[in-house]
Amino acid sequence: MKVREAIEKADTLIEAMGWIRRFRDSITVIKLGGSVMEDADALRHLLVDIVFMETVGMRPIVVHGGGAAISRAMSEAKLEPRFIQGRRYTDQDTLDIVQRVLAGEVNEMIAERIEDFGGRAMPLNPNGETDNNVLFGEPLKLAGENGEEIDLGFVGQVTSVDRDALDNLCYAGQVPIIPSVCKTADGQLLNVNADTAAMAVAQAMGAEKLIFLSDVNGVRLNKDDPESLIHTLTAEAASELIKKGVIESGMIPKVQACLETLEKGVKKIHIIDGRLRHSLLLEIYTNRGIGTEIVTAI
């Protein structure tokens, strides 16, 4: 390497010192969406960024989905996925797939790959002899347009999080990897939308940041046009866009989760494109950030 190049590299390291200090010991909850995990290159870069964050003393916690992998396994089993307000209707057969694929295969794959990249990770799933579950909850009750109760089967919402377990892992330098399932007081497993699971973890841990990594550059005015990205979205505008149908499908629980999290004191919430190389690091150390930031008001 030429001396000049080496000096530039050293300059970059010194520049990074400010933001590394700023975020040292602060918790960032990273929601890894199933859609971005379908892109092998994107996943590799994201996991390396997470290992970097942990190495420099930040405290990343990963909450992951796996919607695409569940739907694939369902179609192999000749089951038809059905979504209501962005949530998967979950009967017993579907729940079995969620447990095997999301809480099992996907969860362990993420932890193993982080270890392959030199980091340390702990898969926190309820499967197997050592039940490592950290999310506890109850069946989700959704209301339809006329206030009627919608039956979603084995779908849950998180009501409590094992904070101590997560704190201990973070302080021991292990990245917690949490699948989006919860257990009821009776030990019944429930399928939880991963955006709402990430929200619950961010709230419980008093996270500095909550970052949703998806396969779009953020919330758009026209979902098929990247140029129509909304950089800053207020709570009021978000509710309006959901009502008008501009925000639809998988983006609904994401935005709803952001709005609820804002009310509970998490400082910064962003929806960003996980396929963009180093999107996580860019989000942390650029002032404006990337993607869509959700705020209470401007």
Ligand X SMILES: Nc1ncnc2c1ncn2[C@@H]1O[C@H](COP(=O)(O)OP(=O)(O)O)[C@@H](O)[C@H]1O
Ligand Y SMILES: CC(=O)N[C@@H](CCC(=O)OP(=O)(O)O)C(=O)O
User: From the CB of 186, what's the least distance to ligand X, in Å?
Assistant: 29
Q: CB of 102: closest distance to ligand Y in angstroms? A: 6
User: Which CB, 64 or 220, lies closer to ligand Y?
Assistant: 64
Q: How far apart are CA 190 and CA 177, in angstroms?
A: 18
* Cβ proximity to ligand X, 132 vs 220, nearer residue: 220
Q: What is the DSSP letter of 229?
A: B
Shortest distance in whole angstroms from residue 204 CB to ligand X: 20
Q: At closest approach, how far in Å is the CB of 110 from ligand X? A: 14
Task: Give least dist CB 25 to ligand Y, A.
Answer: 28
Beta strands of the chain (E only): which ranges? 27-32, 59-64, 83-84, 87-88, 121-123, 135-139, 142-143, 149-150, 156-161, 175-179, 181-183, 189-191, 209-214, 232-234, 268-273, 292-295
Q: Distance between CA 268 and CA 272 in Å, rounded?
A: 13
**Is 191 among the annotated ligand-binding positions?**
yes
4 is in an annotated binding site: no
Q: Which residues bind ligand Y (CB under 6 A)?
A: 33-35, 65-67, 70, 87-88, 98, 102, 155, 180, 191-194, 250
DSSP 227: G
Q: How far is the CA of 3 from the CAs of 8, 14, 15, in angstroms?
A: 9, 17, 18
At residue 183's C-alpha, the angle toward residues 177 and 188, to 5°, is 135
With CB cut-offs between 5 and 8 Å by kind, which of ligand X, ligand Y, none does residue 155 bind?
ligand Y
Query: And the tokens for 24?
Result: 């040292």
Q: Which residues bind ligand X (CB under 6 A)?
A: 33-36, 65, 67, 214-216, 219-220, 223, 246-251
User: Out of ligand Y, ligand X, none, which partner does residue 248 contact, by CB within 5 to 8 A per kind?
Assistant: ligand X
- Toward ligand X, which CB reaches closer, 197 or 284? 197
> How far apart, in whole angstroms, are the C-alpha atoms of residue 194 and residue 96?
17
Residue 191 interaction partner, one of ligand Y, ligand X, none, beta carbon < 5-8 Å per kind: ligand Y
DSSP code for 91: -
- SS3 at position 255: helix
Binding partner at 70 among ligand Y, ligand X, none, C-beta below 5 to 8 Å by kind:
ligand Y
Specify the amino acid at residue 78.
K
Considering the complex, state which of residue 134 and residue 219 has its C-beta at the smaller distance from ligand X: 219
Q: How far is the CB of 112 from ligand Y (least distance, A)?
A: 19
Contact, 221 vs 228, CB < 8 A? yes
Evaluate whether 271 touches 258 at the Cβ level (below 8 Å). yes
Residue 66 marked as a ligand binder = yes
Q: Which is nearer to ligand X, 169 or 280 (CB)?
A: 280
Residue closer to ligand Y, measured from CB, 53 or 194:
194
Strand, helix or coil for residue 31: strand
To the question of whether residue 67 is assigned a binding role by annotation, the answer is yes
Least distance (Å) between residue 73 CB and ligand Y: 11
Q: Which is nearer to ligand Y, 33 or 176 (CB)?
A: 33
Q: Quick one: what does residue 66 bind among ligand X, ligand Y, none, with the CB cut-off 5 to 8 Å set by partner type?
A: ligand Y
Residues making up the binding site: 66-67, 88, 191
Residues making up the binding site for substrate: 66-67, 88, 191
